[in-house]
A and B are shown apart, each in its own frame.
Chain A
Amino acid sequence: MAQRSRESHILFLLIVGLVGWLVPGGGHAVIGEKRHAIVIFVTIAALFVVGLYVGSIGVINPVSAKPWYLAQILNSPAVAALGHVTAKGDYGVYGKPGEIGQIYTSIGGLLNLLCIVNAVYLAHVRGTGGAAD
């Protein structure tokens, strides 16, 4: 019985992490932190959209900018779909706008990673009856 409870707890943590990756703030929504979820979603989505607007969707480049792409895909798996589109097309990315676009979208992804880890940690602490500070 305890084994089953432990397995369901691990499954729940995986779901929290996965939902947090699918939609920024989703992990917090699953554990009932609606305000946190809204703040995180709006901020990360805005950062990502501004990055794309400034640098063009060409800043998502899975072919010749792989390290940036690894950070960008942490925003959401939807970035992979964008990467699929940009890998085929020829979208202009150059100079300062490209630089700003890459930085904005990548920082958005890394911030989402922070939120995923935080949501999973909170879910774990609450599941085991501990107290998060």
Chain B
Amino acid sequence: MPAIATFVAASFIVPERISVDPQSMLWLLPLVAAVAIVYKATKVSKIKAANFVKEVVVLFGSIVIFMVITALVLYALAWLVTE
């Protein structure tokens, strides 16, 4: 098997190294982007690049902002309970 094929196959057999830190939360961004793109693809009747990108960005931003607000509320609740 050529070296490049071996490298590609090996990268799908061994998990990546991802530490449990605040930066690991950034892995939610590609997921939110995918959800926004697919959801909008099922909602719009005609896909036109500029309009579609605008709608996806608005939905992506809405989801991220809502999640940040939820995280802040939960953090405040945890702080109130533990203090």
Contact = CB atoms under 8 A, between A and B. Distances in A.
Interface of A: 35-36, 39-40, 43-44, 46-47, 50, 52-58, 91-98, 100-101, 103-104, 107-108, 111, 114-115, 118, 132
Interface size class of B (residues with CB under 8 A): 20 to 34
Interface stretch (B39-47, B60-68, B74-82): B39-47
A91 B9 CA distance: 12
Given A96-B20, A107-B35, A40 B41 contact: yes
Contacts of B46: 35
B18 A100 contact: yes
Contacts of A46: 34
Contacts of B5: none
A79 to B, nearest CB: 14
Nearest to A25: B41
A61 to B, nearest CB: 13
Contact of A53 (B12, B20, B45): B12
Given A54-B18, A97-B18, A100-B27, A40 B13 contact: no
A43 B17 contact: no
B30 interface: yes
